[in-house]
Amino acid sequence: MPTIVRAADAAQFLSLVPHLLGFVPSRSLVVVPMCRGRSLGAMRVDLPADPAGAASDAVAATVVGMACRIADADGAMVVVYTDAAVTGILPHRALVQSLCDRADACGLLIADALVVAADGWGSYLDRDLVPGGRPLTELVTHDRPGGTAAPVGDQASGAALPKPDGAARAAVAQAARALDAALTAICGIAPSAAASRSASPRIDPAALEAACELDDLPSLFEQALEWNPVSLAPMRAAMIGWCLGRPALRDVALVQWASDQAGGDVAMDAQRKWEDGAEYPSDLASVMWGEGRRPYPQRLEGALELARVVAALLPKARRAGALAVCGWLAWALGRSTHADRYAAQALRIERRHGLAEIVRSFVAAGHLPDWAFRPE
C-alpha cells in the first residue's frame, strides 16, 4: 500500500526514508517514486565507486529506468547517503545531475535531490547552501504512529544466519544421515557424497516416517510455512534441507511458496512430466525470473525464515541449496543485498551452484522481480 508522505520540509522527509526502506541506508542512492504526493515505496542501489566516472551514468540510467517502470509514478525524490564530507560542493553531484537529466528526458519530475553526508546534509537544488551543509542533528528518525519502531541497521543488517548451538546442529546432522539411510533403503536413492562417508547402518524409525512424508511434497512445503523455525525439530530441518538440496524439488518449493499449494501441485506434476520428456510450462518457469502474479510477502517471509534456520542447522557440506533458496527468496522480497550474500555463501560451498549463480547475476545486473514495479 502506498505511504502518504506528509513532510513539512526536507528534514522531515529524510526522517521517513528509513521507514520506507525498513533500514537506515549507507553508501546508497535512494529513489522514492511519487504519485500525486504519495510515495510508491523506495528503491536503493549502491553508490558507484568512482563518483565522477562512467559508472555514475550507468547507475543513473538504471535507477531512472526502474522508476519509469512504475506506471503511476509522476515524480520522485532522490537521496544520496554517503560517508564523504560536505565541502564547497555536495558530494556525488555528478551522479545526481546525471540522474536528474535522465529523469527530465523521461518526463519524471525530481521534486528534490538530497544528500546525507558524514558531517551534514543538504539539497542539491538549494542555491543558498549553508557552508558545510545543515547539521545532522536535524535528522531524527522517530517511531511511526501505531507503534512501528524506527529502523536500525543498514541494508546489510539481518543477513547473517542464526547461530544455533552445537547440540542442535549435531542433532540435525544425525537426522540428515538417518534420512539418507531411510531413503536408500526404501527408494534406492543414493546418499550424497557427504552423507556416504558417515552413513549409519541402522535405520531410524523416525527417519522412515519422514521419508514417507516426502511422498507428498506440496503438502510438506505448505505445512512447513506453519512450523516455528525457532523450535524446528531436527528431522524437519533435515527433510527441508534434503529437498532444498535437490534442484527439481527446490524449484517446486519456490514456485509453491511464491503462489499457493495448488501452484505446488501444478509444479510437481510439471516436473514429473519434464523428466519424462515434456516441455516445462513457461508460466511456471517465469516465476523463477520474477514474472507473474505478485506473491504474498508473508509467504515469502515465512519461507525465508525457515530456509535461514535450516541453512544454519545443516552441516556446511549440505548447506548450499538452502543458502541459494535464501538468496532467491530475499531477491523476490526486494532485498538484493541480502540475496547476494546468501548466494555468495552458497558458491563458496559449491562453486557451480546453478541457482546461486542466477541470483548473483540478477543482483549484478540490477534485475528486480517484475512484481516489484506493480502495486500490491
Tell whether the torsion through CA atoms of 269, 274, 278 and 281 is positive or negative: positive
Q: What angle do CA 318, 207, 301 make, to 5 degrees?
A: 55
Higher pLDDT, 6 or 333: 333
| CB burial readout 312-326, b (16+ within 10 A) else e | bbbbeebbbbbbbbb
Q: Is the pLDDT of residue 197 over 60?
A: no
What is the structure's pLDDT at 6? 43
Question: Where exactly are the structural domains of the chain?
Answer: 10-155, 166-373
- Average pLDDT score over residue span 172-177: 95
pLDDT band at 305 (very low <50, low <70, confident <90, very high): very high
**How many whole angstroms from its chain centre is CA 334?**
5
Place of cell 564523504: 84
DSSP summary character for residue 142: P
pLDDT band at 2 (very low <50, low <70, confident <90, very high): very low
pLDDT band at 5 (very low <50, low <70, confident <90, very high): very low
- Average pLDDT score over residue span 34-49: 89
The Cα 316–Cα 345 span in angstroms is 10
Residue whose C-alpha is closest to residue 62's, from 366, 370, 291: 366
What is the structure's pLDDT at 186? 79
**Count of residues in the chain:** 376
What is the structure's pLDDT at 201? 55
**Max mean pLDDT range (69-78, 119-128, 133-142):** 69-78
From the number of C-beta atoms within 10 Å of its C-beta (0-12, 13-18, 19+), residue 208 rates as middle
- Give me the DSSP letters along 68-128: HTSTT--EEEEEEE-SSPP-SS-TTHHHHHHHHHHHHHTT-EEEEEEEE-SS-EEETT-TT
In one-letter notation, the amino acid at residue 226 is: E
Q: What is the pLDDT of residues 317-371, one digit of tens each?
A: 999 999 999 999 999 999 999 999 999 999 999 999 999 999 999 999 889 999 9
Nearest 10 degrees: CA dihedral of 165, 316, 297, 370?
160
- Average pLDDT score over residue span 114-123: 90
- Average pLDDT score over residue span 207-216: 89
With a pLDDT cut of 90, the percent of the chain lying above it is 61
Chain mean pLDDT for the chain: 88
Q: What is the pLDDT of residues 11-26, one digit of tens each?
A: 889 988 998 898 999 9
Q: Is the pLDDT of residue 8 over 60?
A: no
In one-letter notation, the amino acid at residue 87 is: T
Q: Is the pLDDT of residue 50 over 70?
A: yes
In one-letter notation, the amino acid at residue 276 is: D
The Cα 76–Cα 94 span in angstroms is 18
Residue whose C-alpha is closest to residue 356's, from 311, 305, 314, 315: 311
Superfamily of domain 10-155, CATH level 4: Cytidine Deaminase, domain 2 (3.40.140.10)
Q: Which helix (H) or strand (E) holds 44?
A: strand 43-46
> Where does the chain have alpha helices with state H?
10-21, 54-68, 93-105, 166-187, 193-196, 205-213, 217-224, 234-244, 247-257, 261-275, 282-288, 297-313, 320-332, 336-349, 354-365
